[in-house]
Amino acid sequence: MSGLLSLESVTARYGASQALFGVSFEIAEGEVVSLMGRNGMGKTTTVKCICRMIPSGGLIRFAGQDLSRLPSQRVARLGVGLVPEGRRCFRDLTVRENLIAAARQGPWTLESVAALFPRLGERSDQIAASLSGGEQQMLAIGRALMVNPRLLILDEATEGLAPLVRQEIWQSVGRLKRETGMAILIIDKSLRELRSVADRGVILARGRDVWTGPMHALNADIASAHLGV
């Protein structure tokens, strides 16, 4: 496996308040990495730095390129597909229009997204605003896949969803891992599900990476010290 994404001593601030004090980790091609930590420890801020939604210090490299001076659209075009916190999509567009708006050449098409999420195929002419929360989340993931990413980032993709829908989302993540070999960075509160899908974990505490290792090495002591579970 070769390095696809690497963060080296990444720092970030919101005005006068510093949120990241030095975050370093790597994701290899085809690897699933979970980014964990209690609330407010810097997970979403790290994602915003990778996607160039906020300025950062330190070094971020993706597929051999330094991301630090690129605008966020260029990062998407390089192959980073983001499913942002809050499942954003264009509410007044149909499912199909939402998917097409994000499309880049590659194996992910309207048909392959509908094969992963049949409900999106069934509702392709429906306005996004009329979808259930779970369907909107599937649409947000579908949009990120239409970018044909080399790295998919899922920020709290199961947040606030009913248990059955969460299960559907986890199953689709499992399929992406098994069937596409896509690299995935995943943030979620369910440690149990993360253990079943992620190869490696990175834990953030107060804007720093404090633990990195294979998921099977994340024992009860580490979980209790850094995740409060």
Q: Give contact residues for ligand ATP (rule: CB under 6 A).
A: 14, 17, 19, 37, 39-45
Query: CB-wise, 171 or 224, nearer to ligand ATP?
Result: 224
Query: CB-wise, 129 or 225, nearer to ligand ATP?
Result: 225
Tell me phi and psi for residue 162, to 5 degrees. -65, 150
Query: CB-wise, 79 or 84, nearer to ligand ATP?
Result: 84
CA distance 140 to 218: 30
CA distance 47 to 58: 14
CA distance 121 to 99: 11
| 3-state secondary structure (DSSP) of residue 105 | coil
Q: Supply the minimum distance, in Å, between the C-beta of residue 9 and ligand ATP.
A: 17
Query: CB-wise, 14 or 104, nearer to ligand ATP?
Result: 14
Strand 57-62 and strand 3-14: the pairing is antiparallel
β-bridge partners, 185: 33, 153
Q: Supply the minimum distance, in Å, between the C-beta of residue 121 and ligand ATP.
A: 31
Instruction: Find out whether 168 and 157 touch, Cβ atoms under 8 Å.
Output: no
Query: CB-wise, 45 or 148, nearer to ligand ATP?
Result: 45
Q: Supply the minimum distance, in Å, between the C-beta of residue 20 and ligand ATP.
A: 8
3-state helix, strand, coil in the chain (%, to 5): 40, 30, 35
Q: Supply the minimum distance, in Å, between the C-beta of residue 33 and ligand ATP.
A: 15
Query: CB-wise, 116 or 157, nearer to ligand ATP?
Result: 157
CA distances from 47 to 19, 87, 121 (A): 12, 15, 29
Q: Supply the minimum distance, in Å, between the C-beta of residue 67 and ligand ATP.
A: 18
Q: Supply the minimum distance, in Å, between the C-beta of residue 10 and ligand ATP.
A: 12
Instruction: Find out whether 218 and 201 touch, Cβ atoms under 8 Å.
Output: yes
